Amino acid sequence: MLTICLWTKGRERYIEEILNSISNSLKNDQVRYFIFDNGTEPHIHSILKRWHESNSVNGIFVRIESNDPRPATLWRELRKKGIDWVVFPSDDDIFCSEIVVDWMEAIERNPNLVGFASSATTIDENSNQLDRILHPTLIGLNSEIEKVAASFHEPPFVWPCLFLRMSKLPQKLPSSRFAFDWYVSLQLLIAGEVLSTSKVGLKYRVHSKQESFQAPLRRKFMEAEICHRKFVDSREFRNWIGQQSDEERLNFYRILLGNPPIYGDPIFSISILAQTLSTLIEFSSSFESKSLLISEYARFRGVLLKDGESTHLIDANSEEKSATLGNVRILPSAQSCSNLASAADFLTGNRVAKTFEIHCNHSRGYSKKSIKIDCTKFDSTAPSLNADLMILTITNFLENQGDLNFTLTPGERKLLRIIRKYRNYLPSKWIKLWKSGK
């Protein structure tokens, strides 16, 4: 049995269209409705009530007098009624009744499905068709690891036309206004199989008064960050990640770093990546796996680690410390000095290491890609410290090339603030020189 749930605070202009589309779906005896009147104005309440009275044999009507935007409020009401399969079209959308047959055929073929994610066409405020079609982002992905990792980056489903089984989701869910659907989608993916399809289940209305258009991205991204962190900390995710192999966990994290959470936002994604790293390390069965995870995260943050550095970042037994390799591999050019060669022995790198060509004052025949190391600064008795100097030189080179963002000291930050404050008083040629980066 499918329940079409309409959670509405009352959009008078569009309410008749969504109700009519639900009426069409009720012709199928496997469809029921649940209307949650979320404190609508009296005239909207009257429209909803009249519609319910003419269809009451097929559904449930619940009203609260004061609007409550928390999805968890609706969720509690649905659970009380024992509802399982449910879909949530918005009160400004139009539900496509034809998709119900596709859903029925899908669960008949695979009774273990926990979700059926359909697509949506877009319409404007006057119900005119637009060119854009919204598809589940997971179409074309095969492995569960890929699907879950990709869903940290962006919501995987078109929420108003996602059919889901409530019984497969955790009892406790966040009350997020803007990221609730994202959290539920992540939980659904690790609960079982979700079928994504290009078949259209909804006409999704795009207009200037949509609630999501009324809030700044920072607000929405902050809620997404909080919900992602709750998901990573949840018992369900920990159970799921614990069932994967070390190699699968490493692959999961690589995908996450390649396409970071929350659309790759550099501010709101970092805490999620760090928390996920800690969880993955906790479940890793070998120190090599932990070291590889640290290496991947360090490289993502622009941090180069020489061999043995992982032991400073992960608790390691004495017998494990000798096995750690860094995330950078050095290829010295021909005729490099012995000090450089001995320092390079500390930079052999693990299997995820990035390789750099280097040369020193003594080298001959190096390529244009090679990075120069000033070997006059080397201490012939301290090859490990010389390797540190090579790491520093390579990092500075990458920053100057623009491959890495600059990391500023407190003094540099203060100088930059002064320049910005008094830039209008500086000679124009200085400003031009500054902007040119020369």
Same domain for 180 and 268, yes or no, is no
Same domain for 178 and 76, yes or no, is yes
Please write down the HEC assignment for all residues of 51-77. Answer: HHHHHHHHEEEEEECCCCCCHHHHHHH
Q: For residue range 257-298, list pLDDT tens digits in order.
A: 999 999 999 999 999 999 999 999 999 988 889 999 999 999
Angle, CA of 243, 283 and 154, to the nearest 5°: 70
How far apart (Å, rounded) are the C-alpha atoms in residues 394 and 406?
Answer: 13
Same domain for 182 and 49, yes or no, is yes
Domain endpoint, select from 321, 353, 368: 321
**Residue ranges in the chain modelled with pLDDT below 50:** 318-319
Domain endpoint, select from 273, 295, 321: 321
pLDDT of 348 reads: 92
Same domain for 195 and 310, yes or no, is no
Residue 253 within any structural domain of the chain: yes
Same domain for 139 and 273, yes or no, is no
Would you call 234 helix, strand, or coil by DSSP? coil
Residue 438 within any structural domain of the chain: no
Residue 405 · residue 302 · CB < 8 Å: yes
Would you call 257 helix, strand, or coil by DSSP? helix
Residue 147 within any structural domain of the chain: yes
Percent helix, strand and coil across the chain, each rounded to 5? 50, 15, 35
pLDDT of 396 reads: 92
pLDDT of 318 reads: 47
Same domain for 115 and 133, yes or no, is yes
pTM of the predicted model as reported, rounded to 2 decimal places: 0.87
Residue 381 within any structural domain of the chain: no
pLDDT of 437 reads: 56
Beta bridge partners of 163: 116
Same domain for 222 and 239, yes or no, is no
Same domain for 217 and 283, yes or no, is no
Domain at 215, CATH number: 3.90.550.10
Domain count along the chain:
2
Residue 274 within any structural domain of the chain: yes
Q: Residue 260, CB half-sphere, CA atoms under 13 Å: how many?
A: 19
**Domain that includes residue 291, residue range:** 233-321
The length of the chain, given as a count of residues: 438
Domain endpoint, select from 171, 194, 229: 229
Same domain for 171 and 241, yes or no, is no
Same domain for 130 and 267, yes or no, is no
Residue 84 within any structural domain of the chain: yes
Residue 416 within any structural domain of the chain: no
* The two three-digit tokens of residue 321, written as one number: 């410390």
Same domain for 106 and 130, yes or no, is yes
Same domain for 159 and 265, yes or no, is no
Residue 121 within any structural domain of the chain: yes
Q: For residue range 176-231, list pLDDT tens digits in order.
A: 889 999 999 999 999 999 999 999 999 999 987 776 667 888 999 999 999 999 99
Q: How far is CA 79 from the centre of its chain?
A: 28
